[in-house]
Every structure is written in C-alpha cells, then in structure tokens.
Structure 1
C-alpha cells in the first residue's frame, strides 16, 4: 500500500524544507518498499549510539574519519570519537549544557563534521561554529556567524570556511575562531532550507548559492574571482523560480560539476569556465562521483547514473520514488543509497538494478554512507552509528 504525506503550510520537498509558506494542501505518494532477493547481506561489524540522533529535523550531520578514528554527532549536542575498526569509544562530550546556548534550547548541531589540524568543527542552527580538540573532545572556541550553519565546513591553510542560511560565506581562523572575512549573497524570496557546503581548491573557495550560481572567491581575503551560473530562474511564482545550488560543487582534475534544484547538471572547465555539457536534472542532494560516472538522486528520489565525460545518461531507477533517499555513494560496482524508512540499497553501477537491500534502522537514514578501507559507515536518524563490512 502506498503511504501518503499530507503537507500544510510550509512546503516539504523530499527532506528539505522551504523558507516560505503555502496555503494549499499537497499530497505525495511514496513508493512501496521494493521486493528484492538480495544477492548479499553485509554483516554489521559494530554499532554504537551517539545520542538522540537528528530525529525528523533537517540536521546535516555526517561522520568524519581522521586516521584510525571516526567522529559523529547528534543534533542535541552529543559528539563521540570511536576507533573506526573496533567501534571502541575514545571520548564523548555533551555540548547541550554550554552556557552560551539559549535557555531551554539544545545545541541544535546541524552542519558538519569537519576536521583539520587537530580540530573538529561543527555548526549549529543557533548560528554558531564550534571547534573541539580531536584528541580529547574539549571545546576550544565558539563563534557567532550570524546564521544557521546547515552544511559541512571546509578547511585549508589554517582556515575554516562556512556557509549560512542567511546567504553568507565566512572564513574563520581555525585556531581561534576569529572571523577573517565575510561575503554576502542576495537571497531570493523563497529558498530551500539548506546550503551548499563550500569547497576549497587551488587557493579559491567555491560555494553554491540560492540564486542558481556558484561563486568563487579567494581563500585569503574573500575577493570575488568569478561566478558561474548553474540554472536560470524561470516561471511566474517564487516556487517555480527556485534554483538553489545546495549540492556541494564537485571538482575532478580541472573540471567542475554542479547541479541545481529546478535546474540542471553542468560540467565546465574550472579555470576558463568553458561549458563542456549540461543536462536537465532537479536535485539538491550531493552528487556521487565514480571513476567515470556521476550518480544523482533527484527531488523525486529517482536515481541516475551519468557519464562524466559526455553527460550521457547510462540508466535511471524510479523504484524508490519519494522515499527520501540519501545522496548517493559510488562504491566499486555499486551505487549505495538509504531511505527514510531505514533501508539501505545497493544498485548495480552497470544496470541500475537493486542488487541487495537491508533494513538498518526503522527510524530512517538521512546521511550519505561513507567508506573507509573495508567498512561502510552509516549514521541513522535515531542516533546509531553502524559499521558494515563492505561486500
């Protein structure tokens, strides 16, 4: 039986809330759980609770691996460090009781995790960026950045760079949290509740914007170097004209790949900006990048594989329509995604057929799985960090 989502007031598209409201009821029918005879069933090597997870909130928290350790966080403020192979807990801190948080409001962690130079960085819906020590989990500093931090920070050359829901890009000193520079972009009337994670490359910072462009600024001082348009607003309503670039820009060699909501997937030369190809897709999730291909999960939870050199679509899979699938992970012969009912799917990279599936957590999956050595790590909505043996 199909499940029905009824939506009133603020519109929900996939897993991303819009900044804006509608008075009309909208109904989306979610596809049934597919019936699959799994070719394999990856074993669970270890799992550990990391607090209350993110629940139904849009908190873009994803584990990060540094050396032999993996770090994970929950929305309420729990942050853990584990040995990545055994799952042994190394340290834990609860940020919810910090005096700088407003009374009766949790830490509301929402953007991260990122690590560099012995520091662990995480942002919050409270408009703060926080830094902890990697070795002990001690809080080192916190800085008010003037807007919700909904995406993973980027780090390089002693700086940490964040985007905010207020349309700002900021660079801070990694050791002290002092703000070096700020760049502000004009926000359309209606935007998705999300931001693109910045990317640092060759002394520049690339970041997606709500106006359908990717901005490029100098890491040293925030000076604008270039803008490249991914999608052009069109239509009569603010909803029709939404072209947010919320997916993280992807750089492979000297080529840039980006996708916009209500827009398109583009490939361009990074330095010259020359267009290589463009294709019509509407997506806000990060792209999955393989050796020769790009995987996409669009706003309807359809999954596509596109040839990276030509933009030719190799296959599409619509079996998981509106199941709120995660951004894809391209892993060897497979494209891996999770859904909002907690199932993990392994699709053939050759055909797009679902080869195997398993239920990881009935409360749902939201973060892209990550791979390291022989293990695949998955963070669930209920607050479980699960390590599966790679097939």
Structure 2
C-alpha cells in the first residue's frame, strides 16, 4: 500500500503536524473486484427510512446516544435523528466547517472544527469554543462532566464540559507524520483509554496521569510513511477487553484494567475492528475479511468474497456480520464463516466508519451525507 496524497495541516499555537491522508490502495494497476452476482437474500433486509444531511468528512462516524443517532456534516450542521423513524430530534448550525464526528453523553455534545476548535453544545445552542494546538479528526469523548480530545499532534486534553476550562493535557513526542484518520479514544470504567502512536494508554481522567501502556506496534521501516503505526478508530470492546488495530501493522486485544496484553497478531489493515464475545473481525488492505478468536487471537476464518472492494469496519449483529464498501453497498455475511447472506444499497458513495445499531435498526452513513436505516424482515 502507498500514500498517494499528503497535505499540510494548518497549525495553531505552537503545534504542527503533517498528516498523511490515505487516498487509495494503489499500485501499478488497481485490482478489479469480482462481480457480486445475484443477491442471495437470506435475511430479507428492508429499508426503514433514509435522510440527506449534506456531505460528510471521512472521519464523521455516527454516534448513538439512547434512541438517537448524532451526525455532523462537513458544512457545520450537527443533527440528532430518531433511530426508529429518522425524524429530526434537534439540529444546530455551529457556523464553521467540521472535520470530526460528534461525541455526546446525552446532555452535552462536542465536535472538532476545521479551524482547530473544540465546540461544545447543549440545549440547542453552542456553549463554548476552545482553540486547540492542532487539528482533531477523532470525535471528542464526553464523559464524567468532562470533554476529552485527541489531536493530530498526539496530544490528549481534558476540558470541563460546562465551562470549557482546560483541566489537563498529556502530550507525547510526535513523529513528523501522523495518520489522517480518527484515532482511539474511549472510557473503560474509570480509565481513559487512548491510542498514541503505536501504543494504547490507560490514563487517569481526573489529572492525566498515565496508569499503564500497552505497545501494539513498534515503528519500523526506511521512511516516515512506512514507520506510521497509529492506532485507528473502530474498537471492539467487551467489558475491559479492548481490541484495536495499528495501521498496517497489527491487531491486538488488551486488558484495559491493567494494560496487560492478551494477544497481538500481525495484520495489514487500515480500518477498525468489530467483534463480539467469541470473535474479533477486521478487513485487510485487499478487503479480505478475517475473524480472530477473542480469547487467543487464533485466526478462525478468512473470507475473500469481497476482495478489493475497499471495505470499512465490520459490525457484528447477532449471527450476522455487516460491513460497508466504497460503492455504498452494505454486505451481510455469516458470522461463522464470512459467507455472503444478503446486501443492501445506499447512494453509491462510500459507507463511512462502521454502521451502528439503534435498537433493532441498522444505520449507515455515506460520504454524500445519506443516512440509511435498515431492518430485517
């Protein structure tokens, strides 16, 4: 895999970062995927509703809070849709282009702007804005009356959710290049879990003190691009068991209570992981689907049915596995062996991030800003 596009990220304050933007899995000639053939239709997936919210940035992962799904358009419109019906629960124009998805605890929501600002919202209005040191593609985490951010210079910052006061900051030395994708930022019990370069860190959310570190991948290679090992968004979590991917290097499961490595396996994917109590699922750069044992990391099966379709992050739903491609198709596969079971189409543009569940409704978002909800018969 090679990067076909680099761009200079604007800098704010003293921090600067060059972000490598993954444009395509390109080589001398891009392989052509095989024809999908007739849809088997074993599940009977039906469209429940659809909506159009305007073009989305590639990092704009939908966020579920209760019965609602929250989305941010590139132009700066933040929308909450009712998962069951698709009706608009609330909508707010924050007045500036956005580059991240939405984070929310149900009371306060937050997004990252193209101008390097963290924007907090509540009750249909903007509460406050805070200028950050670098661009942030990772959706903010809102938890415990605080808002946590991860920016491209590998800095983690905590803010008071009500006032916007900066509470603490954790910064690690940054490589000249960082990845132009959302990273890992989540809460596990009373620990903030964050991906910094090739490491997963456990951080005290009250003061930013490090509790543990788990190395997922070590930087190697002959140039800055080959040495990129950032952890990418799309985490499979089962209680304290957190499974993550390091870009083009490895997949691993870590005990987030103490940072103990459960297992670590080499893998060449660029998107996040899905999973359940038995499996961890991921796609490689050539769109092979792989299932690993959650307990041991043993490779349980590999499916090549969707090779070269630029697959995103899989979602485990009951006995099915759902994954979107760059042509706007949702593929429903057997969780047991990856065999095709059904598929559904959207608007022809790439499915962003991982589909989400709101109750029994499956929701996928496309790059054109289409929101599509499906239910099995």
TM-score class, shorter: 0.7 to 0.9
Q: Name stretches of at least 5 consecutive residues in structure 1 with no aligned partner.
A: 12-16, 99-106
Per-residue deviation at 1:339?
Answer: 0.8
Further displaced range: 140-149 or 337-346: 140-149
1:167 aligns with 2:154: yes
> Match of 2:64?
65
Q: How do 1:203-352 residues align onto structure 2 when only pairs under 5 Å count?
A: 203-210=190-197, 212-352=198-338
Contact 1:125 1:147 in 2 (8 A): no
The CA distance in 2 between the partners of 1:20 and 1:36, in whole Å, is: 32
1:110 and 2:99 matched: yes
**CA displacement at 1:155 relative to structure 2:** 2.3
- Equivalent residue for 2:117? 128
User: How big is the alpha-carbon RMSD for the aligned residues of Structure 1 and Structure 2?
Assistant: 2.6
> Take 1:305 and 1:227, find their aligned partners in 2: how far apart are those partners?
26
1:74 Cα offset (Å)? 0.9
Query: Displacement of 1:36 after TM fit?
Result: 4.1
Q: Say how many residue pairs are matched.
A: 363
- Cα deviations across residues 265-284 of structure 1 (Å, max 9, x unaligned)? 22333344443322111333
Taking the aligned partners of 1:92 and 1:265, their CA distance within structure 2 comes to 37
**Normalising to structure 2: TM-score of the pair?**
0.88
* Cα gap change, 1:25 to 1:9, in 2 (>3 Å): farther
Name the residue aligned to 1:193.
180
Alpha-carbon shift at residue 6 of structure 1 (Å)? 11
8 A Cα contact 2:194 2:202, kept in partner: yes
Which digits, 9 at most, give the CA deviation of each residue in 1:136-161, with x for residues without a partner?
A: 52222221122222112222211111
Q: Decide which moves more: 190-199 or 213-222.
A: 190-199
1:374 to 360, 363, 366: 360
Return closer, same or farther for 1:209/1:221 CA change in 2, 3 Å cut-off.
same
Q: 1:198 Cα shift?
A: 1.0
> Is 1:148–2:151 an aligned residue pair?
no
Q: Bigger relative contact order, structure 1 or 2, given CA contacts below 8 A and separation 6+?
A: 2
Contact 1:199 1:248 (C-alpha < 8 Å) held by counterparts: no
| TM-score with structure 1 setting the length | 0.85
Question: How far is the alpha carbon of 1:90 from its aligned partner?
Answer: 3.1
Instruction: Verify: 1:43 aligned to 2:46, yes or no.
Output: yes
Contact 1:195 1:209 in 2 (8 A): no
Q: Report if aligned partners of 1:171, 1:182 keep a CA contact under 8 Å in 2.
A: yes
CA 193–372 in structure 1, closer or farther in 2 if over 3 Å, else same: same
Shift of 1:373: 1.7
- Secondary structure of the equivalent of 1:111? coil
Look up the SS of the partner of 2:226 in the other structure.
coil
Residues 61, 310 of structure 1: alpha-carbon distance in 2 compared, 3 angstrom cutoff = same
Query: Deviation of residue 387 (structure 1)?
Result: 1.3
**Which string of whole-angstrom CA distances, capped at 9 and with x for unpartnered residues, describes residues 193-218 of structure 1?**
124231122322111122x1112221
